[in-house]
A and B are shown apart, each in its own frame.
Chain A
């Protein structure tokens, strides 16, 4: 097993472990920590795919800014243990197997429909010398208008968050 393949399986295992933990733990703060684990593992996978810029953004914006926002709100609201619902038998005996079936079915069909494709089985395309330079060129030329539109989106979101979170309007 070569080093990239080993890295892939290690990070994939960490990501799936984090996602499962996110679901099964009952404290929201533990869920947030599990999600940070998933995001860090995904950042390593992005590096493996030759997307350095996205890996850095993933760590800084997702694992950094967004998750800090989540943790901040969890602590602000003093969110404790999730209440158990009066467990219906249907959720237990029908819901859980169906949930497992959903996950496996998605994975199975993706694997089945992509495994045979030649361009997807071997990553034949060599990584570009510096994908970040090319990426920034695309971002500021071909995708300039969407890029500028996102700045307005961020501004509106900021105003919306301030207005919504204000006490007694």
Chain B
């Protein structure tokens, strides 16, 4: 019925995760960094669902559900921190938020 090999999904997941890492390392805007993290979480979710399909068990999908919940909580708190940083330092550039830099 479904003729797509599962490992295609895993390779796509790896590519998306790698692009998320690259975005996290290259971007300067703090909101864009956050979106790169979301991209990595999405890539991992795809791997979870693909393995869940391959092994015929639904545990992977339950984990994806929990990952989405945690991502929602993380986005809420993280964006509140971003608003705080923007108010305190008048910038969204992570290179200028260097109070803890040695």
Q: How far is the CA of A160 from the CA of B1 in the complex (A)?
A: 47
In the complex the two chains form, is A103's CB within 8 Å of B82's CB?
Answer: no
User: Are B49 and A23 within 8 A (Cβ)?
Assistant: no
Tally B residues with Cβ within 8 Å of A. 73
Complex Cα distance, B81 from A28, in Å, reads: 17
Is A106 on the interface with B (CB-CB < 8 A)? yes
Minimum C-beta distance from A164 to chain B (A)? 4
The number of A-B residue pairs with CB atoms under 8 Å apart is 245
Closest to A149 in B: B66
A77 within 8 A of B: yes
Binding site secondary structure of chain B: helix
How far apart sit A165 and B13, CA to CA, in the bound complex (Å)?
Answer: 34
A45 to chain B, nearest CB (A): 7
| A contact residues around B20 at 8 Å (CB) | 19
Which residues of A come within 8 Å of B, CB atoms?
A: 2, 4-5, 8, 12, 15-16, 19-20, 22-23, 28, 31-32, 35, 38-39, 42, 45-46, 48-51, 53-54, 57-58, 61-62, 65-66, 69-70, 73-74, 76-77, 79, 82-83, 85, 91, 95, 99, 102-104, 106-107, 109-111, 114-115, 117, 119-123, 125-128, 131, 134-135, 138-139, 143, 146, 150, 153-154, 156-158, 160-165, 167
Q: Write 12 A-B pairs (CB below 8 A) sorted by A numbering.
A: A2-B3, A5-B3, A12-B12, A51-B61, A54-B65, A69-B76, A70-B79, A82-B32, A117-B7, A138-B58, A157-B73, A161-B76
